[in-house]
Chain A
């Protein structure tokens, strides 16, 4: 970059800091920044911090590579602004505009200082534009990353919600599984099942797979693991919801479920569990 070392921007920012800051704030307020989401005080503080770090970094004369160490401070600051905007509910455009809106006040000062020298002005504006675009892109990247983290966390929460262990009767638990039984889910399921076994002192746990569309060797392995772990905690498992087509497929696959009690339906499994726990079921005469 031809301007390296001779750019007027660091000097201008130093001398005119207060004016640039006021212009920039005014710019954002006029553009209708959402005051319901962000207080003017906060915004002023963010702008002031940005300006300070920007002025510091730009002293080094590096306008092109924001990966280098002198830009680290500003990038960290932008990352935290971006994260807090994401959480507050700003759009990616609004978030990037925090940085983009810095162009106008900066260029205005440049024009005032370099007005006579058209060529230098153009070069300064071009290199500043480039730099600011990069910083704005950086906020967008962080915005995206934060969103992904939020989604991932929600998925994990959903997974925990979707493996509830319910107490059916004194000493009898049920664990209805719906969807795919992957490794992460098995882990969560096993943990909550074992915990409930201890908490309730249950002797029987029914794992219902009516809602699992495909039982392959991995699913089978996960079921076997869960059953073994429950057994070690002193509870017997019954697997219910094995439909005829699944039973046949398991046999062809060659997976050995012979050690495990299985039942076609949850109702059948429940009756068996009651019997094993010493309850007898009878229909009262009056109900007939």
Chain B
């Protein structure tokens, strides 16, 4: 299966759309209920960060099929302010927006691969992968 979908994230209803798209693909790929829930929750966190901290952006949702293993890869991109201190942002409870500050660190624990590239003044790109 080769699937690739880009969704733009401009409003909180787009965040709902992202969750739905990710859930649907996870079901199609045969993810277990627990893994569906984990990747959908991670997607929800990053989509909301893209919207709230990144000023909006896009997510690229990709189904991976490497023969022996299948998975989902999500790439969130924005051209917002960027994250000045990645280590700090990834700390449990760190927030600049009055949230719980658990979104980034929590998502990292929910997925198998987590990669973050951010430049101040240019934007942020976060890639997560969940294997089936």
Contacts and interface: CB of A to CB of B under 8 A. Distances in A.
Nearest to A183: B12
A119 interface: no
A221 B107 CA distance: 16
B37 A221 contact: no
Nearest to B106: A253
B40 interface: yes
B48 A216 contact: yes
B106 A246 contact: no
A245 B33 contact: yes
A84 B123 CA distance: 47
A245 B32 CA distance: 10
Interface string B5-37: 000000010001001000100000000011011
B48 A253 contact: no
Contacts of A215: 41
Interface stretch (B53-61, B71-79, B97-105, B113-121): B97-105
Contact of A214 (B19, B99, B103, B107): B19
B102 A249 contact: no
Nearest to B103: A217
A214 B40 contact: yes
Contacts of A279: none
Contacts of B38: 248-249, 252
A178 to B, nearest CB: 14
Nearest to B105: A254
Contact of A249 (B23, B41, B103, B105): B41
16 contacts: A180-B16, A214-B40, A216-B41, A217-B100, A217-B103, A218-B44, A220-B100, A245-B37, A246-B37, A248-B38, A249-B34, A249-B37, A252-B110, A253-B41, A253-B102, A254-B102
9 shortest interchain CB distances as A-B pairs: A253-B106, A245-B37, A216-B44, A245-B34, A252-B109, A217-B102, A217-B100, A252-B110, A245-B33
Given A213-B19, A218-B48, A254-B92, 16 more contacts: A180-B16, A216-B48, A217-B45, A217-B103, A218-B44, A220-B100, A246-B37, A249-B34, A252-B109, A252-B110, A253-B41, A253-B45, A253-B102, A253-B106, A253-B107, A255-B102
